[in-house]
């Protein structure tokens, strides 16, 4: 009897929250008669382009999309269900198990995961820059706080690798709340660290220490966080031609007149190299949808469908730098969106 009452009470709480959401949608001022999305700065330009197409095609209001960073987006998304919480979290990495658990604890029970495409973490420099060619290990030795467990004393790129320019190590990048930051540490920094056999042994014996040694970044002036605004990094490179920047491929692609790609492991980030996985910084992009808001927030399912239309083969988001997912992944994304199939949290890490 107690268990049954708890279930009824829980359902009632969600119903009240959604009722408030619907009341706001039908009241004056348009408080919740639009879609609310938060999260990744990398996904932001794609989400806004889709929002414009969606509004034009359906007559609904243009979605409100905030660029908070992936981590910050999940934090807001997982606060609960109802009109004062976002409908969608945009993400440049997959949701973590601890984030999924936080969502569940706050009543966000049915989350739909949809991969919208592929992106690359690009390293770039000003068009008049020195022409860097880096390895993952070069990047690790330059930016790790304690490379291989020892304090980092390198001041110039030449200190890291005699073949590199004798210019000060200066990299503008995303903050710790960003999915790009997380992915950069995993795909570039962590891989560079793993090139050392001793680090492989450390991972087997002490995973926590390995994580700290391999992914902790040194601070300013070597690595300088620039907030959730990749365009600011582009501007910084204009003014600092010997510095490097870290951002999503779409920003590199959209600013070819101002910046150029830095090859990593001899491979430059391009549509083709990211799509086939030969570029080391390739990563998937996602949107996460609150199923409880579908059918309550006007046009939510239609917006998701428009996103997948734009992200598909021949879709308009390719012109903005989004790379189409492999067919099997695209098919799975479309099936999840059509059925609003909740994510199984047990598959997350």
The domains located in the chain, with CATH, are 36-117+283-347 (3.40.190.10), 119-282 (3.40.190.10)
Q: What percent of the chain stands above pLDDT 90?
A: 83
Confidence of residue 14 (pLDDT cuts 50, 70, 90): very low
Which residue did the predictor score with more confidence, 3 or 292? 292
**pLDDT tens-digit map of 179-200:** 889 999 999 999 999 989 999 8
Residue 292's contacts (CB-CB under 8 Å, 6 or more residues apart) are 14, 18, 81, 108, 109, 110
What average pLDDT does range 231-237 have in this prediction? 92
Tokens of 154: 């390198």
Give the global pTM. Answer: 0.82
CA angle 47, 51, 53 (to 5 degrees): 120
The confidence score (pLDDT) of residue 231 equals: 85
**pLDDT tens-digit map of 17-50:** 444 444 433 333 334 799 999 999 999 999 999 9
The confidence score (pLDDT) of residue 112 equals: 98
Give CA separation, 64 vs 32, 48, 83, 300, 323, in Å.
Answer: 10, 8, 13, 12, 24
Q: Given a cut of 70, is residue 167 above it in pLDDT?
A: yes
**Contact call for residues 120 and 70 (beta carbons, < 8 A):** no
- Mean per-residue pLDDT over the chain, rounded: 90
Tokens of 214: 């391999």
Q: How many CB atoms lie within 10 A of CB 61?
A: 15
The confidence score (pLDDT) of residue 230 equals: 82
Tokens of 176: 């710790």
The confidence score (pLDDT) of residue 177 equals: 87
Residue 251's contacts (CB-CB under 8 Å, 6 or more residues apart) are 42, 122, 230, 231, 233, 234, 321
**Contact call for residues 327 and 59 (beta carbons, < 8 A):** no
Q: Given a cut of 60, is residue 331 above it in pLDDT?
A: yes
The confidence score (pLDDT) of residue 203 equals: 87
The confidence score (pLDDT) of residue 6 equals: 36
The confidence score (pLDDT) of residue 227 equals: 79
The confidence score (pLDDT) of residue 74 equals: 98
DSSP state of 185: I
The confidence score (pLDDT) of residue 13 equals: 42
Confidence of residue 121 (pLDDT cuts 50, 70, 90): very high
Q: Residue 37 in 3-state DSSP?
A: strand
Q: How far is CA 247 from the centre of its chain?
A: 10
What average pLDDT does range 131-152 have in this prediction? 96
Q: Given a cut of 90, is residue 266 above it in pLDDT?
A: yes
**pLDDT tens-digit map of 205-228:** 998 999 999 999 999 999 999 977
Q: Given a cut of 50, is residue 260 above it in pLDDT?
A: yes
What average pLDDT does range 155-166 have in this prediction? 98
Q: Given a cut of 60, is residue 66 above it in pLDDT?
A: yes
Q: Given a cut of 50, is residue 236 above it in pLDDT?
A: yes
What average pLDDT does range 66-93 have in this prediction? 96
Q: Given a cut of 70, is residue 275 above it in pLDDT?
A: yes
Calpha distance 87→34 (Å, rounded): 10
**Contact call for residues 58 and 299 (beta carbons, < 8 A):** yes
Calpha distance 105→98 (Å, rounded): 10
The confidence score (pLDDT) of residue 10 equals: 43
What average pLDDT does range 229-248 have in this prediction? 92
DSSP E strands, 171-297: 171-173, 223-225, 244-248, 259-261, 282-290
């Amino acid at each position: 009897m107690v268990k049954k009452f708890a279930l009824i009470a829980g359902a009632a709480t969600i119903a009240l929250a959604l009722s408030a959401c619907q009341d706001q949608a039908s009241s004056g001022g348009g408080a919740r008669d639009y879609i609310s999305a938060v999260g990744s700065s990398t996904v932001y330009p794609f989400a806004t382009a889709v929002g414009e197409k969606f509004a034009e095609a359906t007559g609904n209001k243009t979605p409100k999309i905030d660029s908070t960073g992936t981590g910050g987006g999940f934090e807001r998304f997982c606060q609960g269900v109802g009109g004062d919480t976002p409908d969608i979290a945009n993400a440049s990495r997959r949701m973590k198990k601890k984030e999924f658990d936080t969502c569940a604890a706050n009543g966000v029970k049915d989350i739909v995961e949809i991969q919208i495409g592929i992106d690359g973490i690009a390293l770039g420099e000003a068009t008049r820059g020195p022409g860097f060619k880096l390895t993952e290990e070069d990047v690790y030795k330059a930016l790790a706080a304690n490379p291989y467990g020892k304090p980092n004393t390198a001041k110039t790129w030449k200190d890291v690798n005699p073949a590199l320019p004798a210019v000060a190590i200066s990299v503008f990048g995303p903050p710790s709340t960003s999915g790009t930051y997380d992915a950069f540490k995993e795909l570039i920094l962590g891989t560079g660290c793993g090139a050392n056999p001793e680090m492989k042994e450390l991972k087997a014996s002490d995973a926590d220490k390995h994580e700290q040694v391999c992914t902790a970044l040194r601070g300013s002036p070597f690595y300088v966080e620039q907030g959730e605004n990749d365009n600011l990094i582009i501007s910084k490179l204009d003014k600092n031609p010997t510095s490097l920047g870290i951002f999503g491929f779409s920003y590199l692609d959209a600013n070819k007149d101002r910046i150029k790609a830095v090859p990593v492991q001899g491979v430059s980030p391009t549509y083709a190299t990211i799509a086939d996985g030969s570029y080391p910084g390739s990563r998937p992009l996602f949107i996460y949808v609150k199923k409880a808001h579908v059918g309550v927030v006007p046009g939510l399912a239609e917006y998701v469908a428009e996103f997948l239309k734009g992200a598909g083969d021949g879709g308009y988001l390719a012109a903005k730098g989004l790379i189409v997912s492999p067919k099997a992944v695209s098919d799975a994304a479309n099936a999840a969106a059509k059925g609003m199939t909740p994510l199984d949290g047990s598959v997350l890490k």
